[in-house]
Amino acid sequence: MSESWKIPKERIVDMAARSKEVVMEPFPGITVVSWQLPSGFVITEQSGTIDPAEYSREIGIECCRERLIDKVWELEGYVQKQRWADQRLRDAEEI
C-alpha cells in the first residue's frame, strides 16, 4: 500500500490555531496580521480600504487570515512535495 501524500485540512487548521497572532493598524484603513507558526516561522498579510471612513477592522482581519491560511497551504505543499521528491529519489536508488 502506498503512502498518501495528501495534506489533511485538519493539519492546516491545527497549525493556524496554534499560531501566535499579532494584529496591527499602522495607518488609517490598513490592517496587518502576522502569524508566528508553531515552527517559529513568521508569515504576514495586509489588507486595506480605499476610504478609511469605511474601514472595518474585523473585515480586514478576516481577509488577512484567509490569505494566511492560503500561505500555510502553499508552504506545507512545498514541504510535502519535497518529501515526495526525496522519497522518489530514494526509491530509484534502491532499484
Band of residue 1 on the pLDDT scale cut at 50, 70, 90 = very low
Band of residue 8 on the pLDDT scale cut at 50, 70, 90 = very high
Integer Cα distance of 31 and 23 in angstroms: 7
What's the pTM? Answer: 0.88
For residue 83, what pLDDT is reported? 93
Question: What's the length of the chain?
Answer: 95
pLDDT, tens digit, for every residue of 36-94? 999 999 999 999 999 999 999 999 999 999 999 999 999 999 999 999 999 999 888 88
The residue among 88 and 3 whose pLDDT is bigger is: 88
Integer Cα distance of 87 and 81 in angstroms: 10
